[in-house]
Chains A and B, each alone.
Chain A
């Protein structure tokens, strides 16, 4: 499992203000990994290499967990600074030394781009897996409800006259 390990995002304790740039970098990285995993999961689903799907799902689950923790921190910051979601960059900058403002702004932009890229891939997967599931449900339903037309039909009752009364 190659989840990018990042001490800054490992717990939910709010990080020192100077850490927000590193935090954005880390979360961007996680989003890119999520994009990659989503694509790979779809690819694996198109093959019958089911053994790859398990680890990929696990990886996605871990990435989701990490993003979940990041969201908690994000919400804590917004609450502290008394700002709305749309003012997240402003909140970050307020916690960041002015010398790092330009860098933070660039990281934020990359961060949102990564989220949008991941979102596109997730949208594809949403549609793909819903089609796949409904097709599979149909197939399984058909196979289940099938008359046993395969194989020579076994006699349902003895054709011979029974000696029993």
Chain B
């Protein structure tokens, strides 16, 4: 109790107080005067009396000092003193201080920025209540691990499952929205009635969908996304109850979604309507167009849910063998589906940033060690004057802490800047599929993370000088008089730090090299067609005027003939799906002349116009292309790709053979008239699937894509394509106008590979720079310590060449050590990031050789400067400097 009281009072004493200082001075002064008067009375003269009084007191200043020490807490006082001293030290050495703080800030800034992305994407990606209970529920087939659900299957799954407290479906849709200026194509999503309740989202305004409102018989209702409500309806509360025309259907607005609502798979959706199962697809069990979300019941694991869903799928297989054979089930955590693609790249980036941070810290630690060595004399003197070892260590730790504080603060600023830049680099299209990145900023997590880094760095920086002081005799410092040989500890410990730095640089360089090479391989993969000079445009004609086959065919012919007349256009083609978009939109085929056991021969189905293959410059391997005249009135024909020929006609000639839809509808019987090279239908890194190309004129559809081959400058024609379509019919919607090269370069696969290659490349460049600076520092320091030795050697006849050799050998060993360790680690690291590599092995020899060359060259450069200085030592001066 007594102690506590004293402590509190002493803590207050840390803050200097003028009043207390004055009181103390007064008290001492009155003491001295009283004593002086007594002394005078005892017979001394005044001067002597006062001198005697002060002597007896033990000195005025030392009394005050003793009093002040009692008045405050000495260790805090000491710390503040150390702090002041440390700051003074750092200010005196601006070069060292700036280098150290900048390096730390770089490491911290990069790590925190990347961590922020990881935090947003991997730690809290789903802004729903109890997100870990949300799962993605779909069917599964041999070719597609996460296929879609058919409407009828969904109804059965919903009814039969015992694992979900609720299960709902959604599917993307597009609507022609009537606006004052004409018809605009807007993105929407159709959902089953309980969709928002399953996610745990309540509307901001109005009501959620009633149950049963998703049935075909229910009146059409719609909910608005917050952004759409603001943008198109001025944020007015009276929109509830109004109607909006979507693709010529009057929908009643019943609700508005909250501002922070996001659902990555439907990132762009403006209008959320009820499912109201549509004909042509959703009345067939074989047509899969829905994606499912389920909320697991309490205590049910994903595995249990998968087992239950699989059992239901099996039951449906037996019940409906025609349509459901081979249709399994997939249940995955929803977060896995949403961020699964970016997880490996983020983890690689976090790893890279961490390594960069480590290099930066090691560099600063080794700088501190060098400084510690060069301050040997100061340490020895302070030790001789009575400073305890602990006190000295504390001083060095304090100096480290000052650097860390500066580095962390600057690093947080850097991180903020880096995040802003990185966010701006993400294209808007990509942002729609990553809504969890919205509103990224320096939050509490980031600051805690930065503090964590600071603590680790503090430990590292405390260990180094402590080791130095504990392992060395302080007297040595005095005896040597601050000259002479390099400390043994430095040799054993400090120099090895740089080996670790170089090894890390190798790992990052190798990573960057491999990712860069993957990206190159990805962009130069064989597409099966020539991508240059192609302009593309997606077209959606309204159902109400183009739903009949003849209408759609007439429109297609009109589009082709109008486009062909544009200046600079060489040829024009139409396709249901553009290449390099996705594998899917499949059909099941069988062959009439072969036995059939109900298996689903799943192949990509593409409806293309007669000019398609010539426009894309796809190689014809056998047979012929179709002609424009081959429409519904002529016998059915198809062109197949090489993969289909190889898989289904090994060793046979497919030309003239017939294939038919699995349900044996005679209208679907087609003769194979040609085989073309494999066109890459899916993303750049995907497999080639068997594909069947149907003549568009025999399978018309009012939704198609336009491909135009230009004689040059394909980009400038894009606006003309759009306006030409609108001249044909202003009600036709168009979207995604882009050149083929843009489409490929901006595809998600290319984007992920490109950004990881660039970012890791940036990290590697920084790592190389820091590693080289570290090596330079080590060699330069070693040279400065060995000046006298070199002088003696040269006085005894050593040639400049041999001095060069001596210094470069020292650097060479360190570099070789770094390279060897680094190569070993790189192969391990590259194996870990296997998912991001494309077309290269983790042990890709040419990449690793390049890395070794780059690092060796940089190391040579970094050590040449000090070696040159060593060789230019004037032996006389070196010896005289003693």
A, B from the same assembly: no
Interface residues of A (CB under 8 A from B): none
Chain B residues within CB distance 8 Å of chain A: none
